[in-house]
Amino acid sequence: MLTVRHIFQMEIMKGSSLSTSDSGLDNPVEWISVIEVPVENFVRKNEMVLSTAVGCGHDPILFHRFVEALIQAKASALALATQRYITDIPPKTLILAEQNRMPIITVPWSTRFADIVQQVIRELDRHQDQMNSFSRKTQEELLQLILQGADLNKLAHVIQRKLKLPVLFVDQKGQIKGSSSNSQLLATFWAKHLDGWDFPISRDKKWSRYEFGKKTCIEIPILSARKIQGSLLLLLTNKQETPFSQHDQIYLDHVTTAAALCFLQENIALETESRLRNDFVWSLAKGEFSSIETIQKKAEPLGYNTSLPYVCILGQVEPKTNKDDDLRDSPTREIMDEIYHAGRSLHRNVLSTRQINQIILFLEVPVDRVIDTVQSFLDIVDGRIYERYPDWSVTWGIGEKQAGIYSFRAGYLDACSALDIGRRQKGPGHRNFYMDTGLYRALQQLAGHPDMQEITWSTMHRLLDYSKQRGIDLVETFTSYLRNQCNVSQTARELNLHRQSLLYRLRKIESLTGRSLFNPDDLFLLQLSIKLWTSSKNDST
């Protein structure tokens, strides 16, 4: 990087003198220009200014304001041709320049600004050529390293040798994927940083700084197709504002590109493994394996232990708005990550897959605490879904009756039944255990019997026809009557009816159905007919 010091030492600057201290001589210079009053927005950061101060005349106040404007513009330095308009720089102005680390160099009046500009631009071009050459060489070296099969650990060691700093690579979840040999302290800091953070890595695609005692952690996002793949972490031994040279920054830019290639390679391998895992779990659910030995043989390379007791849980993901178009934006994939984290927090193995918007998982459970374990697990998952995806709900079906060892197919069928019946009876967003569906499964069996169909129809069609004609819901009246244990006064209060009006409705139910509400058998048949009709109505929807 070209600095004020380099320019001050050029042959063209012979005869020039430094009027301020040398504290700002290492300021970078990215351009040079000739500027007179006013400065306004004509000067950019890290620009060296040449001036005769002709606009200031012999007025020290105007010159002081001129220097103030250059400082505000963050100019690198001021080279001032003296002996014509400004002969002596006011002490007040020199103090201001030194306080802001902006050198003031006095140049002989005989020195041409054009010669200075030409020499500096030539040096800037030469420096830029060097940067371009360094950039190409670095890019080629790192690319060759990746093509030779280097992983993130190898890349971290290469960076450590170059920058002499501890190095870590972490993925999107903040998990360490590569490290240098001296990164133990950095790993300890990162573990503390992870604690309590849902999204531990930087998400704004900019470099981030974290203070760690007397040290500083720099986090550099690793991007691929504008998507964050992970981060590069470096531990500095001081708290410098700009700890990296221009060479270092170019090097780190190429390092993150190389790391992105490593992440992409790893992601391809992970996606292949994920596909194999999904296919395996789906085959377990469908009962496609012919023996336990086959299951074990397939599970071992995938890291699954299938000899433990599992319970099957199904989840139906759907928008609360009930818009079919929203299914394209379903967060099913993200919910699968939440399931993984919930299993890890409970120290339970989870075998999972997804089919469109349905989640199929087998959760490791102790056989004496199946329901408690399932409830704790789903509490964690539902809580995170509610927090992160408030517009979505998950309806769960649990096959707890078949929880055990190698009962995957039976558990899946029970979970399917629980999900299907529970969703039709309660609607979306509930947990449905198989044991709670006993009545509805019995009703489904009865509903198919011809005699039961005739009894149900003969009872219900008269009640429904009368209700439609008169605008009176006799089915709800009877249901409320039963819910209040046949207590007329309580039923009338619940329905907000006069007692005599309720008695009239009850007598009408008796006359329409030919059943007596005082006969236990008739009362049972009426109740059964209504439940069968309600169940068949839910089935049709």
The conformational region for residue 427 under phi > 0 = left, psi -120 to 50 = alpha, else beta, is left
In angstroms and rounded to an integer, the radius of gyration of the C-alpha atoms of the chain is: 39
Same fold, 4-121 and 292-436: no
Domain 292-436 belongs to what architecture? 2-Layer Sandwich (3.30)
The pLDDT value given to residue 322: 63
Mean pLDDT, the chain, integer = 87
Sign of CA dihedral 524, 525, 530, 534: positive
**Is 104:67 a contact under the CB 8 Å cutoff?**
yes
- Residue 540 parent element (H or E): helix 520-540
Decide: helix, strand or coil at residue 23: helix
HSE-CB for 399 with a 13 A CA cutoff: 28
Q: How far is CA 501 from CA 177, 494, 498, 506, 507, in A?
A: 75, 13, 5, 9, 10
The conformational region for residue 116 under phi > 0 = left, psi -120 to 50 = alpha, else beta, is alpha
Selected residue with higher pLDDT from 7 and 196:
7
Contacts of residue 34, Cβ cutoff 8 Å, sequence gap at least 6: 49, 50, 51, 113, 117
Assess whether pLDDT exceeds 90 at residue 229: no
The pLDDT value given to residue 448: 62
The pLDDT value given to residue 17: 93
The pLDDT value given to residue 537: 63
Decide: helix, strand or coil at residue 504: helix
The pLDDT value given to residue 266: 81
Using one digit for the tens of pLDDT, what is the confidence trace for 491-532? Answer: 999 999 999 999 999 998 888 888 888 888 888 888 888 777
The helices-and-strands tally (H runs, E runs) of the chain is 17, 15
Assess whether pLDDT exceeds 80 at residue 34: yes
Instruction: Name the CATH superfamily, with its identifier, for domain 149-267.
Output: GAF domain (3.30.450.40)
Q: Helices in 42-99 by DSSP H: which ranges?
A: 60-72, 91-99
Assess whether pLDDT exceeds 80 at residue 398: yes
536 C-beta neighbours (distance < 10 Å), count: 16
Selected residue with higher pLDDT from 194 and 320:
320
Assess whether pLDDT exceeds 80 at residue 67: yes
The pLDDT value given to residue 411: 95
**Is 48:77 a contact under the CB 8 Å cutoff?**
yes
Domain 449-539 belongs to what architecture? Orthogonal Bundle (1.10)
**Is 157:151 a contact under the CB 8 Å cutoff?**
no
The pLDDT value given to residue 333: 84
- Pull the structure tokens for residue 395: 């309806």
Assess whether pLDDT exceeds 90 at residue 33: yes
Spans of all domains in the chain = 4-121, 149-267, 292-436, 449-539
Q: How far apart are CA 110 and CA 75, in angstroms?
A: 24
Task: Output b/e per residue, 436-462; b: 16+ Cβ within 10 A.
Answer: bbeebeebbebbeeeebeebbeebbeb
Assess whether pLDDT exceeds 70 at residue 101: yes
For residue 173, name the pLDDT band (cuts at 50, 70, 90): confident
Using one digit for the tens of pLDDT, what is the confidence trace for 117-140? Answer: 999 999 999 988 988 999 999 999
Q: How far apart are CA 275 and CA 292, in angstroms?
A: 22
Instruction: Name the CATH superfamily, with its identifier, for domain 4-121.
Output: HprK N-terminal domain-like (3.40.1390.20)
Compute the average pLDDT of residues 225-233: 85
Q: How far is CA 331 from CA 92, 334, 357, 392, in A?
A: 64, 5, 9, 8
What is the side-by-side strand order in the sheet with 31-34?
17-18, 104-107, 77-81, 47-51, 31-34
